[in-house]
Every structure is written in structure tokens, then in C-alpha cells.
Amino acid sequence: MKFLKTLFQIVVAIVFILFGLHYYLSNHTIKTVAEVKCQTNPTTFIQIDEYAPITKLWATSDGNMKVTFDNGTKAYFPDIEMLGEGNQKVALILNEQKWQRYVFGSKKLYYDGVDYDCVNG
């Protein structure tokens, strides 16, 4: 009987650990670091998400970028590399020819060799 009680306690502990891990990974692994409106033609609304360091265990990217054009069209870029810190932070958009980078300090989007000013959206 003592064996069953111990086994039950171990199973309950594992279930609690799994629920806690699931909660953490669901709610604390992605952080929105920029939501801006850029003066491109057409106007673009950009959201850049940065992944928590723990995601390096299963992800190869530092984040992603979601773009919504003012005509309703959407684009998604799953491969972002984050460089620097604070105002020196840059989001490099990988595996794209025209979409190049977003610079956080100056709030500039670089697209097809041209820089566009952005404002908080």
C-alpha cells in the first residue's frame, strides 16, 4: 500500500510540473518588442515578437515579424535574428530579399534598400 501511495505522489508531482511547464512556455516565451506603423506605400503595420532564450532548445530563430498592409493584406516572416540591446537593437529579417531589417532606436524599416520612418502604432 505504501508503494501505491508513493507512486501516486510521484504521478501527481509530474502532472503539476508538466502543467507549470506548459503554462510557462505558453505565456512567457514570446514577447512583443515593437508595434509600429511605417510610412511605406502602402502603409504597413509591423509587429515584431522576440522569443525567450529557452526557445533556443527547439527554435533556430530569435523571433518573428507580422506585417499588415493598410489594404488588409498580411505577411509573416518567421525568421528574425536580433542583434544588440536597447536603442542599438536591430531585427534582421532572414531569408528575404527585399525585407532587410528594422532598427529599434531610429524606428526605421529597411525594405529593398530604402529606409522608411516608423511611429509607434
Give the mean pLDDT of 65-90: 93
Number of structural domains the chain divides into: 1
Cell 523571433 belongs to: 63
For residue 115, is it within any domain?
Answer: yes
| C-alpha cell, 44 | 504597413
For residue 111, is it within any domain?
Answer: yes
For residue 24, is it within any domain?
Answer: no
| C-alpha cell, 119 | 511611429
Whether the pLDDT of residue 5 is over 90: the answer is no
For residue 3, is it within any domain?
Answer: no
SS3 readout for the chain: CHHHHHHHHHHHHHHHHHHHHHHHHHHCCEEEEEEEEECCCCCEEEEEEEECHHHHHCCCCCEEEEEEECCCCEEEEEEEEEECCHHHCEEEECCCCCEEEEECCCCEEEECCEEEEEEEC
For residue 80, is it within any domain?
Answer: yes
Q: How confident is the model at residue 52 (pLDDT cuts 50, 70, 90)?
A: confident
- Cα end-to-end distance, the chain, whole Å: 62
Task: Give the structural domain span for 65.
Answer: 30-120
For residue 7, is it within any domain?
Answer: no
For residue 25, is it within any domain?
Answer: no
β-partners of residue 110 are 101, 115
Whether the pLDDT of residue 25 is over 80: the answer is no
For residue 57, is it within any domain?
Answer: yes
